[in-house]
Amino acid sequence: MSKILVLPGDGIGPEIVAEAVKVLEAAQQKFGLEIELDQALVGGAAVDAENDPLPESTLTKARAADAILFGSIGGPKWDAIERDKRPERGLLRLRSALGLFANLRPAILFPQLADASSLKPEVVSGLDILIVRELTGGIYFGQPRGIKEENGERVGFNTYVYTESEMRRIARVAFELAMQRDKRVLSVDKANVLEVTELWKEVVTEEAKAYPEIELSHMYVDNAAMQLVRAPKQFDVIVTGNLFGDILSDEAAMLTGSIGMLPSASLDENRKGLYEPCHGSAPDIAGQGIANPLATIMSLAMLMRYSLQRGDVADAIEKAVEAVLDQGLRTADIYTEGTRKVGTEEMGSAVARALAGA
């Protein structure tokens, strides 16, 4: 029996998670999976109910689960409250408390969506990049941090810090994953300016010695951002720190047609994980039933692959997504002429049906 905790969150979170749960139920039926599903509050929904974006009861359930399926958190309603109570802090605390240091963000272009990308089809066709983002360190968590008064004005400050062991373990994850792919790793840094990434570059290079088959290269983050839209197919695995990884993965999402297509896995040392789309709560379209649920559905596929060791179920879910794209179904964000525009529910149901029938 595997325990999966569902954390829908805010904005479009509950809408897209409901579709992933539909697909999960279809997978349960088809593969006879023994899964115990539970739900809890996180983010703004938890602030409203319990004045805490990560209530103790949610954290306890998260610790007990084999895997977590997460929607999205945040929104204008909670933007003005004190920082510790903000929905985003709930997600950050959850990642940190569970030790989810390795964030895998695969940017894959389905051939059916070559026209949906804002880049020319020939630039993106066949794209298959894996961004490995360090998730529990760097400037997101460094101390000291805050806003203070100094010399009669306010000063905002954060600390960009990585220990050697934090850098080594994320480098190893990237190398291990690259060994199963094209064996090329790009480490992204700002070693020309920031000491912390100068050390990052050194440590990643040292770790690479244990992987003689891997071709390791380095790039400054500004150039990497440019190269991602100039010639993205030059990349296989990209490993980088928390902040750079956050930015580069949203950029990479657009290569695949939409941010609504980018899933993610956040893993600890033992591959226990939290699975969520890379996008946020999309307040501008929340409640309209038009959000793309595919990133969340493909996050569920990653959950099957990494935490439940059911690569066969993951493959079947991904094939079902492809089948639905083949049928010409598109949510608004990936719609192109000649295809059929559908809403969140219709897209989710179509994937569940394709999975059941496959």
Amino acid at 241: G
38 sits near ligand IPM (criterion: CB under 6 A): no
Contact 72, 277 (CB under 8 A): yes
Amino acid at 268: D
Binds ligand IPM (CB under 6 A): choice among 20, 47, 69, 91: 91
| 334 is known to lie in a ligand binding site | no
Contact 44, 16 (CB under 8 A): no
| 222 is known to lie in a ligand binding site | yes
Choose among ligand NAD, Mn ion, ligand IPM, none what residue 92 binds, the Cβ cut-off being 5 to 8 Å by kind: ligand IPM
- Residue 335 annotated in active site: no
| 176 is known to lie in a ligand binding site | no
- Residue 222 annotated in active site: yes
Orientation angle between helical segments 164-179 and 195-208, nearest 10 degrees: 50
Burial (0-12, 13-18, 19+ Cβ within 10 Å), 257: buried
- Residue 3 annotated in active site: no
The residue ranges that bind ligand NAD (CB under 6 A) are 12, 16, 72-75, 88, 91, 259-260, 276, 279-285, 291-292, 295, 333
Query: Which is closer to ligand NAD, CB of 74 or CB of 245?
Result: 74
246 sits near Mn ion (criterion: CB under 5 A): yes
> What is d(CA 17, CA 70) in angstroms, rounded to the nearest whole number?
7
Contact 7, 339 (CB under 8 A): no
> What is d(CA 108, CA 129) in angstroms, rounded to the nearest whole number?
6
Query: Which is closer to Mn ion, CB of 246 or CB of 318?
Result: 246
Q: How many CA atoms lie within 13 A of 166 on its CB side?
A: 24
**What residues does 70 pair with on adjacent strands?**
7
Query: Which is closer to ligand NAD, CB of 17 or CB of 27?
Result: 17
92 sits near ligand IPM (criterion: CB under 6 A): yes
| 76 is known to lie in a ligand binding site | yes
> What is d(CA 344, CA 166) in angstroms, rounded to the nearest whole number?
38
Binders of Mn ion: how many residues, by CB under 5 A? 1
246 sits near ligand IPM (criterion: CB under 6 A): yes
Give the chain's length.
Answer: 358
Burial (0-12, 13-18, 19+ Cβ within 10 Å), 120: exposed
Query: Which is closer to ligand IPM, CB of 20 or CB of 325?
Result: 20
Q: Closest approach of Cβ 306 to ligand NAD, in Å?
A: 18
Q: Closest approach of Cβ 101 to ligand NAD, in Å?
A: 16
Choose among ligand IPM, ligand NAD, Mn ion, none what residue 292 binds, the Cβ cut-off being 5 to 8 Å by kind: ligand NAD
Query: Which is closer to ligand NAD, CB of 40 or CB of 214?
Result: 40
Secondary structure letter of residue 241 according to DSSP: -
88 sits near ligand IPM (criterion: CB under 6 A): yes
> What is d(CA 344, CA 33) in angstroms, rounded to the nearest whole number?
25
Structure tokens at 93: 């605390």
Residues tagged in the binding site annotation for NAD(+): 75-88, 280-292
Residues tagged in the binding site annotation: 75-88, 95, 105, 133, 222, 246, 250, 280-292
- The binding site for ligand IPM (CB under 6 A) comprises 74, 88, 91-92, 246, 278, 280
